Amino acid sequence: MTEAERTGEPIRVLITDDHPIYRQGLRGLLQALGVEVVGEAENGPDAVRLAAELQPDVVVMDLQMPGGNGIEATRTITRTSPRIGVLVLTMFRDDDSVFAAMRAGARGYLLKESGAEEIARAVRAVAAGEAIYGPEIARRVLSYFTEMPDPRQAAFPQLTEREREVLELIAQGRSNAEIAATLFLSQKTVRNHVSNIFLKLHVADRAQAIVLAREAGLGDPTRPPRPR
C-alpha cells in the first residue's frame, strides 16, 4: 500500500511527454483510475522544474524529447528528490535505454504499448517504492544478468581449470592437505598445482597469491569448487 493510499489521498503524478495527445490520453486514463495528475511537462528540464515545485509521488517519464532527454531528468529528480519515483513509459526497448534508465534511478520501465491496467499497476507500485518492469523488459533484464560471465572465470586466464579451483581454495585459507581432501587429489599433486600457480601469477608465496585471488573475487567460503 502506498503512503497516499494509507492516508486516503490519491497518488499524485507528473506526466512528462512531448506529445500533447499522448499526455491527454494518459491523463484521462490515470484520472479515471483515481490518480491525481498534478502537472504535465513536455521535456526533461520542465520535468525537473515541476517535480521540484510540485513534489509528486510519481513522474511518468518519456525518454526521447526535444529540449532535454528523460535520462538526465530522471537522474536529477532521483538525486534531488529521492522520495519521488520515476516510471519510464517509452517506445524504446533497447538494452542501452533500459539500463541507462535503471542507472539514472528509474524505479520502473514500461513500453507505451502497455495496457491501461499494467500502467496503473506500475504507477501504484512505483509510488509504493517498488521496482516494476513490463514483461518484455523484465525478461531482458533477467537475461542480461543470467548471461553475464562470472568475473572469476575471466581472471587469471593463464591458469587451467584445476589450477583455478586450487587457487580458489588457497584464497579461502585452506592448507595443501585440506585442498587435497576437498578435490580428492594427492598432496603431491596439490603441491605441483600450487607451484605452477605461483609461477604463472609471478608471486613468491601463498600470501601474495591470496591477495591477488581475493582482489579478483576468489575466496568466498560459501562457494567451494566442486570435486571432480
Cα–Cα dist 193/163, whole Å: 6
Degrees, nearest 5: CA angle 40-38-112: 50
pTM of the model: 0.61
User: What are the tens digits of pLDDT across the range 11-28?
Assistant: 999 999 999 999 999 999
Place of cell 535503471: 102
Q: Residues 53-89: pLDDT tens digits?
A: 999 999 999 999 988 789 999 999 999 999 999 999 9
Q: Coil, strand, or helix at residue 78?
A: helix
Report how far apart, in Å, the C-alpha atoms of 13 and of each of 47, 99, 127, 131, 180 are. Answer: 11, 23, 9, 16, 62
- Tens of pLDDT, residue by residue over 161-202, are 899 899 999 999 999 999 999 999 999 999 999 999 999 999
117-129 pLDDT per residue, tens: 899 999 999 999 9
Sheet bearing 85-90, strands edge to edge: 36-41, 12-16, 58-61, 85-90, 108-111, 132-133
Distance CA 42, CA 67 (A): 9
